[in-house]
């Protein structure tokens, strides 16, 4: 089966509709998805940004929230701007998402964290919030968090972020099909088409 890799960061706004849309879109296209959480912080830091570009450039940030409102309304995806500081810290959630890959609950966990962040107005760096999400998936928070915080899992997340950089990723969400890189929620359809046909039209 053809595959796309879905690179996402839990703080990233446009990764939210991508995470909510990708499973059905990919199934409809007959394309498999590999869910690849990574961290934008090191990438933005290397570009000289110590904050989200949506905060650094206010006109861009203002329009991003309005654009996201329009997109989520059209897709029937609930959206409530986080009352906490934006962007939130997605490190713990990314470690947990990665720890779930081998047992298959990464997509469900990912969607639940995005919903908590961008619809539930929850702090996704809060252990209680993450524990609640894990319990909602019938997982044992203590066991999962221990696996997430194991040194080899922490190293794996670092390696995943380094792989993203090596493959040209500079923002989230991104999609890769082999060497072909697509950036942005609005490129999901292009990536799926590329995986299927080697073209976007």
- Cβ neighbours, 10 Å, residue 17: 22
- Measured CA to CA, the distance from residue 97 to residue 192 in angstroms comes to 23
Yes or no: say if 15 and 52 are a contact pair by the CB < 8 Å rule. Answer: no
Alpha carbon distances (Å) from 168 to 136, 162, 171, 174, 184: 35, 10, 9, 10, 13
- Measured CA to CA, the distance from residue 189 to residue 166 in angstroms comes to 23
Interface region with a second copy, contact rule CB under 8 A, candidates 73-81, 98-106, 116-124, 134-142: 73-81
List, in sequence order, every beta strand (DSSP E) within the chain: 3-8, 32-37, 174-177, 180-183
Residue 77: CB minimum distance to a second copy, A:
11
Residue 2: CB minimum distance to a second copy, A:
17
Nearer to a second copy, 6 or 105 (CB): 6
Residue 39: CB minimum distance to a second copy, A:
16
Decide: is 36 part of the binding site for a second copy (CB under 8 A).
Answer: no
Out of 73, 128, 150, 159, the only residue in the binding site for a second copy (CB under 8 A) is: 73
Interface region with a second copy, contact rule CB under 8 A, candidates 20-28, 70-78, 84-92, 153-161: 70-78
Residue 30 carries which DSSP code? T
Nearer to a second copy, 75 or 162 (CB): 75
Decide: is 170 part of the binding site for a second copy (CB under 8 A).
Answer: yes
Nearer to a second copy, 39 or 139 (CB): 39
Decide: is 168 part of the binding site for a second copy (CB under 8 A).
Answer: yes
Alpha carbon distances (Å) from 181 to 9, 169, 187, 196: 16, 7, 10, 15
Tell me, by CB under 8 A, how many residues bind a second copy: 30
* Residues that bind a second copy in the complex, under the rule CB under 8 A: 47, 57, 59-60, 62-63, 66-67, 70-71, 73-75, 165, 168-171, 180-184, 186-187, 190, 194, 199-201
């Amino acid at each position: 089966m053809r595959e796309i890799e879905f690179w996402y960061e839990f703080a990233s706004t446009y990764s939210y509709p991508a995470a909510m849309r990708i499973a059905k879109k990919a199934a409809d296209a007959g394309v498999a998805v590999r869910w690849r959480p990574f961290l934008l912080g090191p990438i933005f830091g290397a570009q000289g940004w110590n904050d989200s570009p949506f905060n650094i450039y206010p006109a861009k940030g203002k329009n991003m929230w309005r654009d996201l409102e329009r997109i989520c309304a059209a897709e029937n995806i609930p959206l409530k701007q986080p009352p906490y500081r934006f962007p939130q810290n997605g490190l713990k959630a990314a470690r947990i998402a990665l720890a779930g890959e081998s047992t298959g609950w990464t997509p469900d966990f990912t969607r639940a964290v995005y919903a908590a962040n961008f619809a539930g107005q929850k702090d996704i760096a809060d252990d209680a919030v993450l524990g609640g999400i894990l319990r909602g998936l019938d997982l044992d928070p203590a066991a999962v968090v221990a696996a997430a915080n194991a040194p080899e899992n922490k190293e794996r997340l670092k390696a995943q972020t380094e792989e993203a950089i090596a493959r040209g990723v500079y923002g989230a969400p991104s999609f890769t099909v082999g060497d072909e890189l697509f950036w942005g929620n609005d490129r999901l359809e292009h990536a799926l088409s590329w995986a299927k046909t080697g073209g976007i039209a």
